[in-house]
Structure 1
Amino acid sequence: MRLLALLSLLAVTALSAAEDKFVIWKLDDVKAGEKKRLAPGFKRVAEWAKTEKTVVTMGVICDSLAQPNADDVAWIKANAIENGGVVEFWHHGWDHRSWADATGKAMAEFRGPDVATQAKHLKDACVIFKQTTGLTFHAFGAPFNQADDATIAAMDAVPEITIWMYPPKNETKRKVLGRTLNMEVATGKVSFAKFAQDYAAKKPTTMMLLQGHCGMWNDDSFNDFVKIAALLKQDGWTTLTASQYAEKTAKK
């Protein structure tokens, strides 16, 4: 009986692991303004997703929408998953700015400024995205993945955002999507060889949130991304958006 119970436990554990093999593509830095146009790489990945009948997520830098480009906004609307498209668009900050203060201390949009300033950036981005596209953000990822305790407090200003990608370790109020592996060896440079090496070594069996900057990818990086996606698909991984993953895991 003990052996039977052990075998049953192992079977359930294996099934649970398989059910948790979800990958989310976190693609940063969509811009859709007259001065900051949408990079062609985002369109290329979206077309790939349509062909593969899969989904991706793309982060929007929202100050670009202060002077929106009509064609770029139309593309966002047409490709939004809410409108039957393949992309979940998420909040990637207002201006994606970094600087040094008067003392030389490194600052970023969501690391250093006070709660009120950060809350304004969070709220302003949500408002302009809604006004421009008719869509609502439900997920957030800070520029440079840099955030602090003030960000955690400021997030209360945008209760519609219930998912945080790569948050501070002490974030507890929203669904946390953390880092497992990297597909870029440097910002904008994908390496299938390095990913495959790390994947084989770490053998992940739970959700992977893989970050990329497809607006910067050359042909080699795009092709390596496609190879990574094919590897994961062959190995039984299911691709979801951030919101799809949050909904699916909330039911467990």
Structure 2
Amino acid sequence: MLKLLFKSLSVFALFVGGAVSAAESPKVVIWKFDDVRAGEKARLLPGFKKVSAWAVKNKTVISMGVICDSLANPNTDDVAWIKKNAIENGGCVEFWLHAWDHKKIKKPDGTEGSEFNGPDLETQKKYFKDACDIFNKNTQLTFNTFGAPYNQSDENTATAMDICPNLTNWFFGPKDKKRRVLARSINMEVTTGKVSYDKFADAYKAKTPASPLVLQGHVGQWDDQSYKDFVKIADFLSKEGWIAKTPRQWAESLKK
């Protein structure tokens, strides 16, 4: 009875604001869902609404990365959805900065790069500032977490990020004195947009991952089978004692 009561209180505290301490909940899973767009030309894909509904039903939390140039011509309904579902407004989603435009580029040496892997410092600073400003203008929300397109960054990225001091958490970044880095371990997608429960389970059993366990998904590309495998993974982790937090909730729990 006491164990059941403790677990219920822990889950409730997490949902309303991540109040469970790291000592009480050492096994944390962070759902990292990439590529939210909310513009007239690039609309919010149905997969994001589907996984958000799953999170609400299960009284848990998730995080979603925004590609911000879509907000240069915002879709009113999509922006309203972001605001309604933001954890700051009582929803279940922490929205984080994923990209300005998520485009690939050619570096001076001819190799392939991306907006935070190849451009000079001033260009990267502009990407950060423009993305943070346009997101705040449209949603009245502030990013606290960053995750680069293609998970690529270079020697300019950390310095460029200083222009947005609220960015204090970094998905899959290098060691950084100013920010908490959320490392990558095992995957639930075998290729971009394709989830495999069997492959995930094999990797998990081979070596139980450290906490926090960050699991990346491209929910806008999931078919029905990928969604079912995701739910199966989430159920498995719940039975294993993992509790979901957003990046911000996880970082705040470390301060307690």
* TM more than 0.5: yes
1:172 is aligned to 177
Name whichever of 47-56 and 104-113 sits farther off. Answer: 104-113
2:13 is aligned to none
Moved over 4 A (4+): none
**How many angstroms apart in 1 are the aligned matches of 2:119 and 2:108?**
13
2:196 is aligned to 191
Amino-acid identity (%): 57
> What does the per-residue CA deviation read over 1:107-128, in whole Å, with 9 as the maximum and x for residues that have no partner?
2100010111001100110000
Amino acid at match of 2:233: I
For the 8 Å contact 1:20–1:205, the answer to whether it is kept is: no
2:144 is aligned to 138
DSSP-derived class of the 1:19 partner: coil
For the 8 Å contact 1:61–1:92, the answer to whether it is kept is: yes
Q: Is 1:124 paired with 2:127? A: no
Deviation at 1:44, TM superposition (A): 0.2
**How many angstroms apart in 1 are the aligned matches of 2:223 and 2:170?**
28
Q: Of 74, 78, 102, which aligns to 1:72?
A: 78
Amino acid at match of 1:67: N
DSSP-derived class of the 2:221 partner: coil
> What does the per-residue CA deviation read over 1:216-244, in whole Å, with 9 as the maximum and x for residues that have no partner?
00000000000000000011001000000
1:5 is aligned to none
**How many angstroms apart in 2 are the aligned matches of 1:203 and 1:40?**
32
1:93 is aligned to 99
- Aligned pair count reads 235
Q: Of 239, 242, 247, which aligns to 2:244?
A: 239
DSSP-derived class of the 2:181 partner: strand
Q: Is 1:227 paired with 2:237? A: no
Q: TM-score, normalised by structure 2?
A: 0.89
Aligned pairs for 1:1-150 (under 5 A) are: 19-101=25-107, 103-150=109-156
Amino acid at match of 1:84: G
**How many angstroms apart in 1 are the aligned matches of 2:73 and 2:62?**
26
Deviation at 1:103, TM superposition (A): 4.5
Q: Is 1:216 paired with 2:216? A: no
**How many angstroms apart in 2 are the aligned matches of 1:120 and 1:165?**
20
Deviation at 1:102, TM superposition (A): 5.6
**How many angstroms apart in 2 are the aligned matches of 1:208 and 1:91?**
19
Deviation at 1:173, TM superposition (A): 1.5
2:212 is aligned to 207
**How many angstroms apart in 2 are the aligned matches of 1:157 and 1:18?**
35
Deviation at 1:183, TM superposition (A): 0.5
**How many angstroms apart in 1 are the aligned matches of 2:107 and 2:253?**
43
DSSP-derived class of the 1:193 partner: helix
2:158 is aligned to 152
**How many angstroms apart in 2 are the aligned matches of 1:200 and 1:207?**
17
**How many angstroms apart in 1 are the aligned matches of 2:129 and 2:150?**
19
In structure 2, stretches of 5+ residues that fail to align are 1-21
Q: Of 159, 162, 187, which aligns to 2:168?
A: 162
For the 8 Å contact 1:17–1:206, the answer to whether it is kept is: no
Amino acid at match of 1:229: A
Q: TM-score, normalised by structure 1?
A: 0.91
In structure 1, stretches of 5+ residues that fail to align are 1-15
DSSP-derived class of the 2:34 partner: strand
**How many angstroms apart in 1 are the aligned matches of 2:113 and 2:206?**
35
